[in-house]
Amino acid sequence: MRSKLLRPNTDFVFNATQTPLRAMREDMKTFTVLLFNLVLYNIQPNSHPSDATMNILGLIHYINEDLEIDVAGIISRWMKEIVLSGHPDKALRSSKVKSTSPLGFPCLIMGLCSANRLHLPHIGNEEIPTINDDYVDRYCKPKRRRARQQPPPPPPQPPTQPATSGFSDQNFYNFFTHLYDQNDAGYRAMSAMQQSFYNQHTGQSVMTPQDFQTYVAWPEVRPTFIGGGMAPNADAGEEAGMDDDDEEDDGGEGDASMEEEDEEEADSDDD
């Protein structure tokens, strides 16, 4: 059935237990679609035109192989299912056809009514189209599947220019961290100087300049942070470095003057 009814490289739709359930319309051969339309509108209606279940495919296979089929028996049983679909007794109601499904075999019913000379009011006119080559080309041959259109590429973004002013978030954090380190070092220096004055007054030992610098741990000149490096900032760094050097020089002269005063006081005490 697969090779005779379906197109190459196609297959039935299977369930979880690998049991074939149906075949999609676009996977059928052109002649199979013609037989599918014949079955839907004349032998076993009330089915979706988009796919064929396995019972319909079996009927199509018998027709395709020119095997003997009891078409009248199939139609009569199916008309019975259609009638029972609206039966009030649930035990007798059909489970194959829904009660909301459209009426099947309209042409057969109208033909039987006309054959029995029943009066039929003219409510409307509808012509059944002729099945010719144009009909086959339009409704039976598979439509060309449109290739999925790729979304247009996004417009090129202008190259990002480096910042010309201000700091990035990381540089902003590094800058203030450096200021905090300088403030902490200044506090340690003031505390060490006060402790040195107290030690001198009480005759205790005083830190040497090397010990003093080690204890204060002054962060020195502000470093160049990654991502920054503007000329105005560099000038500010140089000015900060000059101020730091001046403060360090002032601190050295203060220590020397303190030592000279200590020597003069010691000489005066000896005299």
What is the DSSP code string of 30-64?
HHHHHHHHHIIIIIS-SS-TTEEEHHHHHHHHHHH
What distance in Å separates the CA atoms of residue 212 and residue 97, rounded to the nearest whole number?
100
Q: Does 155 map to a domain?
A: no
Domain of residue 257, residue span:
169-270
Q: Which residue has the higher pLDDT, 80 or 224?
A: 80
107 and 223 inside one domain: no
Q: What is the percent of the chain where pLDDT is above 70?
A: 70
174 and 133 inside one domain: no
What distance in Å separates the CA atoms of residue 121 and residue 119, rounded to the nearest whole number?
7
123 and 224 inside one domain: no
H or E segment and range at residue 267: helix 231-270
Q: In 3-state terms, what secondary structure has residue 171?
A: helix
57 and 115 inside one domain: yes
Q: Does 130 map to a domain?
A: yes
- Predicted confidence at residue 264, as pLDDT, reads 53
131 and 174 inside one domain: no
Q: Are 206 and 198 in contact (CB under 8 A)?
A: no
22 and 135 inside one domain: yes
| 248 pLDDT more than 80 | no
| Domain limit, last residue, from 140, 156, 190 | 140
Average pLDDT over residues 1-17: 92
Q: Does 225 map to a domain?
A: yes
Average pLDDT over residues 35-43: 89
pTM exceeds cut of 0.75: no
Average pLDDT over residues 51-57: 91
**139 contact partners, CB below 8 Å, separation of at least 6:** 33, 37
What distance in Å separates the CA atoms of residue 43 and residue 100, rounded to the nearest whole number?
19
131 and 184 inside one domain: no
| Domain limit, last residue, from 101, 119, 140 | 140
Domain count, the chain: 2
CA 143 to chain centre: 31
- Per-residue pLDDT tens digits for 97-148: 887 777 788 778 888 888 998 887 776 666 767 888 888 888 788 776 555 5
114 and 236 inside one domain: no
- Per-residue pLDDT tens digits for 213-239: 787 777 766 666 555 444 444 444 444
- Predicted confidence at residue 46, as pLDDT, reads 78
265 and 223 inside one domain: yes
Q: Does 224 map to a domain?
A: yes
Q: Does 116 map to a domain?
A: yes
Angle (CA) 184 188 192, round 5°: 170
Q: Does 146 map to a domain?
A: no
Q: Does 107 map to a domain?
A: yes
Q: Which residue has the higher pLDDT, 196 or 152?
A: 196
Q: Does 32 map to a domain?
A: yes
